[in-house]
Amino acid sequence: MVEGDSLPSIRQLAKDLQVSVITTKRVYEELEKENLIDSVVGKGSFVSGTNPDFIREQRMRRLEEKMLEIIRESREIGMSSQELIQHLTLLSEEEQTE
């Protein structure tokens, strides 16, 4: 979805997902609080402009998951935290020179 796309009505989405209208209404309210959607009385809800803080937070979560996977795997092969940091630093420096 892109900015300006309309979302299904609360009732329609609740019916499609087979959940309560109250639950769906709460979700729309939360999305509006996060500035991810805009609701216009009588017209519906629409995707708003991107919220850079929210997007950054989502990307940070994914990055942290990947980092935890790397930490676990490095421990399995006997790397110390210091060795892992040194290896990451080396790769980062190599990446910057390319």
Residue 51 confidence (pLDDT): 67
Q: Where are the domains of the chain?
A: 10-47, 52-97
Residue 68 confidence (pLDDT): 96
Tens-level pLDDT at each residue, the chain (98 residues): 777 889 999 999 999 999 999 999 999 999 998 888 888 888 889 888 766 777 788 889 999 999 999 999 999 999 999 999 999 999 999 998 87
Residue-by-residue DSSP string for 37-90: EEEETTTEEEE-S--HHHHHHHHHHHHHHHHHHHHHHHHHTT--HHHHHHHHHH
| 39 bridge partner residues | 45
